[in-house]
Structure 1
């Protein structure tokens, strides 16, 4: 990869994370989504009723997450009930991580300190300190147990403050790859 390509890719990454990430949050707020401080919201889809969505502080919403605030299945009853619509709010607590490609359905309240595993379909009340996964999403353990598993993992590699190059070297050395 050329130096110009590396600079371009690095600049794009920084702009995407800082500028576009904050711009995305500002636009969502302008549409009526309530979003707390220190949040990261990647490319996700928000339903047409933005004003029914509330996201707490220090929340990460991964790429591909869908927030649905209405039930489109009422369509099949529209001949009989032309004005039928069903809606429900979505509330995400503080210090929560929503994994890739999750679907958050109407009338869902996810508590504080939760981990929602990738691909989960979430509906209803998720208690504080829960790790949930599946379709339908179920609580599988408390987040303090997941924390212990992370800390005991043989693949725990401290790289947070390393440059890309140093991080790459450290990870490759750990897994003995070249």
Structure 2
């Protein structure tokens, strides 16, 4: 199987997802994109968490095709630069997520997200601006965002008082 041999970004590109810069996908992208992956455009510095989904069509019209065989609803999805898509988020057809946005875990995004906005919920609604989030994050930061791997795990354990025997 092709998807088993590629990294998540490589697989997404192989099925037609357009990437206009550096994109990071955590976990598998095998079922992240619906049957029209070529309608999804991801700009630079986009991060997508495990279980997020991009659905470019509306299957709700299927029962009505007996009486209207040509009925079909689909539209592109665009995620502009510097965005984070949380675990389990569902991005629906026709949505554009503006620059510098955060989509919370399990949010269902059915409408465009204005630049610099954090959205969450079902349906997703504005929670606050990314500028407000950044200001609050700076005051609570652990100061280890530049670390990775084992070094970062050791720091988490040290900060939260977790010994190696636990």
Q: TM-score, normalised by structure 1?
A: 0.80
Alignment of 1:130 onto 2:117: yes
Aligned to 2:34: 47
Shift of 1:161: 4.3
CA RMSD in angstroms, aligned pairs only: 1.8
Residue correspondences, number: 156
Is the 8 Å Cα contact of residues 36 and 58 (structure 1) preserved in structure 2? no
Alignment of 1:77-92 (within 5 A): 77-92=64-79
Please identify the structure whose Cα radius of gyration is greater: 1
Please state how far the C-alpha of 1:94 moved relative to its aligned partner. Answer: 0.3
Q: Does 1:144 align with 2:131?
A: yes
Gaps of 5+ in 2: none
> Greater share of helix residues, 1 or 2?
1
Q: Secondary structure in 2 aligned to 1:132?
A: strand
Task: Indicate the larger mover: 46-55 or 110-119.
Answer: 46-55
What secondary structure sits across from 2:66 in the alignment? coil
2:16 is aligned with 1:32: yes
Question: Post-superposition shift, 1:20?
Answer: 4.6
Aligned partners of 2:45 and 2:106: how far apart in 1? 21
Distance 2:51 2:70 in 1: 31
Alpha-carbon deviation of 1:163?
A: 6.0
1:70 aligns with 2:57: yes
Among 150, 153, 156, the residue aligned to 1:168: 153
1:67-87 Cα offsets, whole Å, 9 max, x none, are 101001112212221231110
Q: TM-score, normalised by structure 2?
A: 0.85
Rounded to whole Å, the distance in 1 between the matches of 2:58 and 2:83 is: 25
Cα distance in 2 for partners of 1:161, 1:70 equals 39
